[in-house]
Structure 1
Amino acid sequence: MKNKPFVTRLTFVASSRPEAMEARDKLAKRYGDAGIDDAQVIVALGGDGFMLETVHGLMASGKPIYGMNKGSVGFLMNEFVDDDLLSRINAAEQAEIHPLRMQAVDVDGVMHEALAFNEVSLLRTTRQAAKLRISVDGKVRLPELICDGALISTPMGSTAYNLSAHGPIIPLDSKILALTPISAFRPRRWRGALLAQAARLRLEVLEAPKRPVSAVADNFEAPNVLEVYIAEDRDVAVCMLFDAGRSLGERVLAEQFSA
């Protein structure tokens, strides 16, 4: 880690998968486990979902997180290798990630607040299509979007749900957010928008009693929402570590050329 003290103290966390827990015990025995308070780096063992869970659960510690894949896809994880772990971590490249902050008001007037490092998505919850009104920086840009939903993605999250919904992959340092419709019916040809990092969004749910919508920020869900406010929170940051030559920026770029 450039300009940082040499890392010697680690702590290990693992998903509930047996192979992840077995790897945690093996690595802790080999390298020692300093615990969250004394560790310099948190090593997360699992898949991408567990990495997001770790980021949310341990970001208050302020410790960098180095993931190793013991899950399925592992886009946010490094390759699992037992040997030379300290050397890999000390040579790792850093990615500072800022989340979106979601504030969602439900039909009862209750405010739900959560952070999203991948995306905030609004999703219909019945057979009825959702109707959404989209405003950016206080100006209505789309009076009515009839759809299964819509999502706002960070660059890191642009290769996840956003890509599955045919949204664009965003370079990590581009300072852009993606606004992507999910199965848009009207306007049929609207493919979404790229927005400035500082954009502030408001999504209103039209005909909410008839067409209920939930709002999801990573792994947090607010049901039956009326309106959702979304903006990047630059005051919150998490440091993720990636093996030298395999930075998060490189992974996002390479994804654009994958088959």
Structure 2
Amino acid sequence: MSQRIHFVASKTEDAQAALATLRTQYGEVPIDEAEVIVALGGDGFMLQTLHRHHARGLPVYGMKLGSVGFLMNQYQPDVLRDRLARAVPTTLHPLCMDVQTESGSAVTATAFNEVSLLRQTKQAAHVRVYLNGAMKLDELVCDGILVSTPAGSTAYNLSAHGPILPLGSNVLAMTPISPFRPRRWRGAILPAATEVKLEVLDPYKRPVSATADSYEVRDIVEVTVRESREQTMNLLFDPEHNLEDRILNEQFEN
């Protein structure tokens, strides 16, 4: 693994202190000259880093200095060069979200974890579900619905009782949030190449928002979600604590 490092850090006190220490200890090159990004923070900051820098195509090695660190390695500053040399890459394929709003505008965004739809008021959302152009659910009554990548399957998807997906499984999780009708539908596992269209029924009375990771679009009428094969991002992990093992082990946690 290359040693031309650019450091980024969340704004927390611990992350900023670590940033100063690592810059002094290892030096730093500008982002345009870097061959690896080292991100200091939690999972939320890692997602920010992926969104901010995914166009550069640089691998990212995270160290945990936040409350949640599923996408991060442990913080051990004294052996960083050795860890980068041994790091194992995991390739992420993000989701592309295309949204149509009530006002007629079109919005596109990228999600490395999930695309989620949520009701904006106390009224339940009514959503029609299409897969590859074929209608699969005429009317899903729910608080929301999400489509998750394998990397994001242990986040919001798991909280909504969705399945944990192994990396490399080439599938996506579609998970309803507090579904009311149909009563027995609890979601689906889809081939990664599936194009998902979610149509909001009665958007004026029952407004719905769509979120790609943390980017929200309100008052939507239709969302199309598909996996992007063109955009990829490589996360680097210590061999003894890689993301694939973490996702596997998560299925046996109490």
TM-score by length of 2: 0.99
Indicate conservation of the 8 Å contact 2:147/2:175, yes or no.
yes
User: Does residue 191 in structure 1 map to residue 186 in structure 2?
Assistant: yes
- The offset of 1:57, in angstroms, is 0.2
2:211 is aligned, of 212, 216, 232, to 216
- For 2:206, give the aligned amino acid: R
Q: Which runs of 4+ in 1 moved over 6 A?
A: none
Give deviations 1:44-66, integer Å, cap 9, x for gaps.
00000000000000111211100
1:1-259 equivalence runs, <5 A: 1=1, 7-259=2-254
Partner of 1:4: none
- The offset of 1:84, in angstroms, is 1.0
Unaligned 5+ residue runs, structure 1? 2-6
Unaligned 5+ residue runs, structure 2? none
Aligned length: 254
Deviates more, 1:173-182 or 1:239-248: 239-248
TM-score by length of 1: 0.97
1: CA distance, partners of 2:251 / 2:133: 33
- The offset of 1:109, in angstroms, is 1.1
- The offset of 1:20, in angstroms, is 0.4
Give deviations 1:148-182, integer Å, cap 9, x for gaps.
00000000000000000000000001100000000
- For 2:227, give the aligned amino acid: E
1: CA distance, partners of 2:234 / 2:164: 21
- For 2:146, give the aligned amino acid: L
Identity of aligned residues (%): 54
- The offset of 1:245, in angstroms, is 2.1
